[in-house]
């Protein structure tokens, strides 16, 4: 399994999230896009751990994934609901 | 061969879930993304990370779903207003930013990972602008993904909210 495959997948996810962050106007969609970006970054570390045969990198990736989850939860609970009256 | 096919399937599901997450922002999209990435991580012998991915991102998706549920939100019937189009300037700016980023990413990764450990000869032009251009030209798949992302995100993005 070449490691480049997972790098391409990670770059696709990261760029996808970046486009969402830049283009979506509401906070909810931006939150999801940021989660996609963070998960893409963690995917890079999976490939790096395999490439260098270093399992320590898994710890960093796990931290990043936990951060993505916590980040999504906090922002989801803090983000205001869409106001149907236009404000 | 079988492993590559499995990876392609997992990657396709992950990218599709990412597209849906950016496009429509449903609360279930991160869960599908996490499951697909867990499959990828299993293929790359990161079993612990597969569990962490499903647990962390899946739990987040569950909470987001609860927060977003109509009963909690008290949303009126009729749903959200339909999104409108983006301005051409904004699309052009984002396209330029993403294209530049792809350019840098491909160049950096090509040097860091594809040719790991190889010393560059003194005076080598590798990594310079023509080299990066050649690297990008050799990655049509990545270019296509970037283009699709920008076009899809621009097509589905909503307008700024009207203020009274």
Higher pLDDT, A11 or B161: A11
Residue-number span of the structural domain to which A14 is assigned: 3-78
Residues A33, B21 contacting (CB under 8 angstroms): yes
Residues A43, A6 contacting (CB under 8 angstroms): yes
Higher pLDDT, B22 or B105: B22
Higher pLDDT, B155 or B119: B155
Interface test with A, best of B5, B7, B12, B14 (most A CBs within 10 A): B14
Q: Report yes or no on B78 lying in a domain.
A: no
Per residue in A35-65, pLDDT (tens digit) is: 888 888 888 888 888 877 777 788 788 878 8
Judged against a pLDDT cut of 70, whether residue B120 lies above it is answered with: no
Kindly determine whether residue A46 and residue B46, on different chains, have CB atoms separated by under 8 Å. yes
Domain end, chosen from B22, B43, B73, is at B73
Give the pLDDT score at B9. 92
Per residue in B53-90, pLDDT (tens digit) is: 888 887 777 777 777 766 555 555 555 555 555 667 77
Residue linked to tokens 């899809």: B152
Q: Report yes or no on B80 lying in a domain.
A: no
Give the pLDDT score at B115. 54
Q: Report yes or no on B98 lying in a domain.
A: yes
Chain B residues 46-85 with a CB less than 8 Å from chain A? 46, 48-49, 52-53, 55-57, 59-61, 63-64, 67-68, 73-76, 78, 80-81
Q: Report yes or no on A66 lying in a domain.
A: yes
Residue A4: is it exposed, middle or buried by C-beta count within 10 angstroms (0-12/13-18/19+)?
middle
Nearest chain A Cα distance for residue B24, angstroms: 8
Q: How many domains does chain A fold into?
A: 1
Do B36 and B94 belong together in one domain?
A: no
Do B68 and B127 belong together in one domain?
A: no
The per-type count for chain A, helices as H runs and strands as E runs, is: 3, 0
Residues B48, A45 contacting (CB under 8 angstroms): no
C-alpha B72/C-alpha B79 separation (Å) is 14
Q: How many domains does chain B fold into?
A: 2
Residue-number span of the structural domain to which B136 is assigned: 88-156
Give the pLDDT score at B13. 93
Do B106 and B43 belong together in one domain?
A: no
Stretch B4-25: mean pLDDT, rounded?
88
Q: Report yes or no on B115 lying in a domain.
A: yes
Indicate if ipTM > 0.90. no
Q: Report yes or no on A85 lying in a domain.
A: no
Judged against a pLDDT cut of 50, whether residue B94 lies above it is answered with: yes
Closest CA to A24 of B155, B146, B163, B95: B155
Give the pLDDT score at B80. 54
């Amino acid at each position: 399994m070449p490691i480049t495959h997972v790098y391409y997948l990670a770059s696709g996810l990261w760029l996808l999230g970046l486009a969402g962050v830049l283009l979506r106007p509401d906070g909810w969609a931006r939150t999801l896009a940021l989660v996609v970006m963070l998960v893409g970054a963690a995917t890079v570390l999976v490939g790096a751990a395999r490439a260098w045969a270093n399992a320590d990198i898994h710890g960093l990736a796990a931290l990043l994934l936990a951060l993505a989850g916590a980040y999504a939860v906090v922002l989801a609970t803090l983000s205001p609901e869409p106001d149907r009256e236009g404000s | 061969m079988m492993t590559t096919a499995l990876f392609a399937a997992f990657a396709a599901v992950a990218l599709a879930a990412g597209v849906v997450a950016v496009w429509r922002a449903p609360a279930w999209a991160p869960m599908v993304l996490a499951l697909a990435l867990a499959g990828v991580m299993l293929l790359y012998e990161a079993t612990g990370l597969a569990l962490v991915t499903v647990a962390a991102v899946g739990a987040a998706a569950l909470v987001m779903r609860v927060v977003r549920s109509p009963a909690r939100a008290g949303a009126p019937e009729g749903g959200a207003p339909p999104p409108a189009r983006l301005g051409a300037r904004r699309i052009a700016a984002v396209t330029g930013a993403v294209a530049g980023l792809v350019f840098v990413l491909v160049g950096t990764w090509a040097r860091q990972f594809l040719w790991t450990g190889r010393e560059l000869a003194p005076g080598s032009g590798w990594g310079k602008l023509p080299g990066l251009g050649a690297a990008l030209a050799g990655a049509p798949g990545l270019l296509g993904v970037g283009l699709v992302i920008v076009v899809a995100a621009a097509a589905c993005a909503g307008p700024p909210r009207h203020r009274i």
